[in-house]
Structure 1
Amino acid sequence: MISNFIFLTLFDNLILEFISPFLAIYGFYKLFDANRFEFFHTGFFIGILWFYWVSFSLVYYGFAFLIPLEILFFGLVYGLIFLVCGWWKNKFIRAILLILISYFYPFNFNWLNLELVLVPGLFEPNLRGLCAIFAGILAFYYLKKFKLLGLFVGVILALQITQEKPNFLPLKTKLINTQISQYTKWNPKFSKQHIIEALNLIDEAIKDGYKFIVLPENAFVTHLNLEPNLEQILKEKSHFSTILTGALAYENGRQYNSSFLFSKGSVQRFDKFILVPFGEEIPLPNFIKKALNLLFFNGAKDFDKASSFSDYKVDNQVIRNAICYEVTRSETYKNSPKFVVAISNNGWFTPSTEPNLQRLLIKYYATKHGTTVYHSVNGSKSEIITPKELWVVKFINLFKK
């Protein structure tokens, strides 16, 4: 029940979207009165339903046989977290601990956020919305004469009552979408072919009159700052359109996952500042980190990172840069930027529900900060994600069409 939103929103149906948060509310109602074992296996299956796809990347390192173990690992980690929440029988304590789960990041991974269950439907997807729902459930349990009234008041207080007007960049923007398999993307044999394909996509966008062209994360699988000829080609094309592309960078013995901005014949580089745990960095003590890097990544070192997020300007518009995992982190939305341009490679995990969960997380932060997110992706669809609309407005607009 609690996890339904990840799957029902795949259908892009307004009725299912309306129903989704009520199923989650019923799930929380049952959980509040559960025993410790039920808390554990609720967390266990939430961990699996939300994050089973993380293990899919093992295929590309030759460790597909470990997929069941990694799925089991996620189940056990979140099972134990939920067990802690359910250790006390007092429902108020349980409610508080469940709320705090969204702000506890095991291994610096923040994708378990229970406020996300309110992204679809009528409610405000934030701390206020979740607290109001929990207060309504507690009222239903503890009030003797006014159970339904208490629940109703909680639901009313959780409703979304305003919506942010979305902002859009004032120039024609092309979000390039690619569907390159990970089997070929990182294979040096296909490097030249992929570079040619990316350059052709840029040429097509320029021909179609786009003034800002955004390519996905690692659209060029090379250390772009060490490729002067390729850089020069992109600089020349940038006299016609501004180009943002993902690529690797290498400097002073350090490797970075970066965005490169080509504009009017010049180039700027923005390095990623929040790395993917167990993908780009191992968030464990050095002696364990070295052993895991040796075992899974042929001894490669962790990526290095920038000291903070990066902002840049396109057509006098200030834009916050985000590379994949960064677009789902609260730090990226500090000071509520008007625009975030994000690039991702979801090819590691597709086909799965990962792109949809990522989209819901982006929608959550876009709503919370009034930000419009331009998202260029490999492996799933590229799109513009705006703050959440009122469900009633969406419903009325459906009939107007």
Structure 2
Amino acid sequence: MSQKYCYYPYTSFTKKIISRYSTINEIIKCFFIAILISNFIFLSIFDNLWLNFISPFLTIFGFLKLFKFNKIKFFYTGFFIGILWFYWVSFSLRFYDLSYLIPIEILFFGLIYGLIFLVCGWFKNLYFRAFMLLSVSYFYPFNFNWLNLEATLVIGIFEPNLRGLGFIFAFIIAYYSLNKFKFISIFLLIFALQFKQNVPNLLPLKIYLANTNINQEIKWKNEYRNDQIKQVLNLINKAIMDGYEFIILPENAIVSYVNLELNLMQYLKEKSHNIGILTGGLAYENDFIYNSAFLFKDGDMKRFDKFILVPFGEEIPLPTFIKNFVNKIFFKGASDIKSAKNLSTYEINGFKITNAICYEVTRPEIYANNPDFVIAISNNGWFMPSTEPNLQRLLIKYYATKHATTIYHSVNGSKSEIITPKKMWIKEFIMQIKSKS
């Protein structure tokens, strides 16, 4: 009898321990799957041909496991994906004296994307799950579009678009549906492969793609303003001496209201007889502040204001009364940046250029007309050190591949580069073999 009284409490206690262990184990499993799906952000940093080859297969394995998760595990996987992709967004809070909010913002991103994945996994039907996950790339919470699952295929042998991801999901559905004939499902992956590559267009100009590394801690301090302007002028003079025809400088390379700096404008107009100049800077007009790109060419100046603003960075995408409250409490009463009414385009030596400032270069609106050339300027100093520049580069590569566009990207805080459509992996492999032989 006494043994029974000992037995039942012991069993109950054991069940609680097992249940708790099981829950923790499941959460760890979700974290591991989130890492697999997100691996391309981290492996591509090494720029290694074999890691690039392996990356999409790790992603496929991650999705394969995800499709069989219950809705709670979908939530946890989305939660960790949100953190792995966007933990760095919170780093900008350091420069508003809000560092104490960094953990909260990181958890906020986890929660938002956890809820999105919860919806994707709400129903057990695999077709519905595939459709919902394909739709995630086209759903922009708070107008932020950087969770793009198609971009997980930017490196490797598969096509980074709806076809590529769609046939990978078709493979997963077939794998779980064919029972004894699962091996047949592998053939569906053939239709997800990249079959061609676009030959990159390059501007027939000698272009100086400037790169700066000004720490965000000092970038907007008045005592460093003149030094930064001198650095810009030195870069322009050096580009002229080296025979360049066009120089592209990063976002806010000139930390001033350029349209109000009459002497500086006149100086740059004079220099533009020797070299075309595109530089980032601020503009002030009719009591509004604009984030702008300024083009100086042949003694003339044109201004192109940013059209798509960064959510919670340059605008608060909330109703006005909430927006005003947030700006007052957290941003010392500052107003939102004013946006342009339309996208900006201009011509350089007869070639049409689409203008993009930082976040804009990762938006589909920029590529709506399949432009041959985009000139983009960014300031990644807000988020350094982090994986933000690499994710930005991968997203730009995604759009470059999808629209056969060449992007000239000048950056502060990370690498400036020309980003062209994705090459076929097999061709890169052959080129590497030839280079070693």
Measured against the shorter chain, the TM-score band is over 0.9
Q: Which residue of 2 aligns with 1:132?
A: 167
More helix by share: 2
| AA matched with 1:239 | H
Q: Distance in 2 between matches of 1:258 and 1:354?
A: 22
Matches within 5 A, 1:316-327: 316-327=350-361
Q: Distance in 2 between matches of 1:204 and 1:297?
A: 38
Q: Which residue of 2 aligns with 1:97?
A: 132
Q: Distance in 2 between matches of 1:46 and 1:111?
A: 12
Q: Which residue of 2 aligns with 1:384?
A: 418
Give the counterpart of 1:28 among 55, 63, 70: 63
Q: Which residue of 2 aligns with 1:211?
A: 245
* Pairwise CA distance, 1:270: 0.4
Q: Is 1:54 matched with 2:89? A: yes
Q: Distance in 1 between matches of 2:426 and 2:129?
A: 32
Q: Which residue of 2 aligns with 1:15?
A: 50
Q: Deviations over 1:279-303 (max 9, x none)?
A: 0000001111001111222111111
| AA matched with 1:162 | K
Q: Is 1:191 matched with 2:214? A: no
Q: Distance in 2 between matches of 1:396 and 1:133?
A: 25
* Pairwise CA distance, 1:239: 0.6
Q: Which residue of 2 aligns with 1:302?
A: 336
Q: Is the 1:134–1:154 contact (alpha carbons within 8 Å) kept by the matching residues of 2?
A: no
| AA matched with 2:284 | Y
Q: Is 1:358 matched with 2:392? A: yes
* Pairwise CA distance, 1:145: 3.4
Q: Which residue of 2 aligns with 1:245?
A: 279
Q: Which residue of 2 aligns with 1:77?
A: 112
Q: Which residue of 1 aligns with 2:75?
A: 40
* Pairwise CA distance, 1:92: 1.0
* Pairwise CA distance, 1:307: 1.3
TM-score, scaled to structure 2: 0.91
* Pairwise CA distance, 1:399: 2.0
Give the counterpart of 2:123 among 44, 65, 88: 88
Q: Which residue of 2 aligns with 1:256?
A: 290
| AA matched with 1:228 | L
| AA matched with 1:21 | P
Q: Distance in 2 between matches of 1:397 and 1:169?
A: 24
| AA matched with 1:275 | L
Q: Deviations over 1:175-234 (max 9, x none)?
A: 100000011101011101110111001111111111010000000011100000000111
Q: Which residue of 1 aligns with 2:191?
A: 157
* Pairwise CA distance, 1:265: 0.6
What RMSD over aligned residues (CA atoms) do the two structures have, in Å?
0.6
Q: Which residue of 1 aligns with 2:25?
A: none
Moved more, 40-49 or 140-149: 140-149
Q: Is the 1:137–1:154 contact (alpha carbons within 8 Å) kept by the matching residues of 2?
A: no
Q: Is 1:143 matched with 2:178? A: yes
| AA matched with 1:20 | S
Describe the SS at the equivalent of 1:319.
strand
Describe the SS at the equivalent of 2:294.
strand
* Pairwise CA distance, 1:146: 2.3
* Pairwise CA distance, 1:144: 2.5
* Pairwise CA distance, 1:381: 0.3
Q: Distance in 2 between matches of 1:330 and 1:392?
A: 28
Describe the SS at the equivalent of 2:415.
coil
Give the counterpart of 1:4 among 39, 44, 47: 39
Describe the SS at the equivalent of 2:304.
strand
Q: Distance in 2 between matches of 1:156 and 1:148?
A: 13
Describe the SS at the equivalent of 2:353.
strand
| AA matched with 1:105 | Y
Q: Is 1:233 matched with 2:245? A: no
Q: Distance in 1 between matches of 2:285 and 2:183?
A: 63
Structure 1 segments, 4+ long, off by >4 Å, are none
Q: Distance in 1 between matches of 2:362 and 2:251?
A: 15
Identity %: 65
Number of equivalenced pairs: 400
Larger radius of gyration: 2
Q: Deviations over 1:225-256 (max 9, x none)?
A: 00000001111110100000000001111110
Q: Deviations over 1:29-70 (max 9, x none)?
A: 000000111101000000000000000000000011110000
TM-score, scaled to structure 1: 0.99
* Pairwise CA distance, 1:400: 2.2
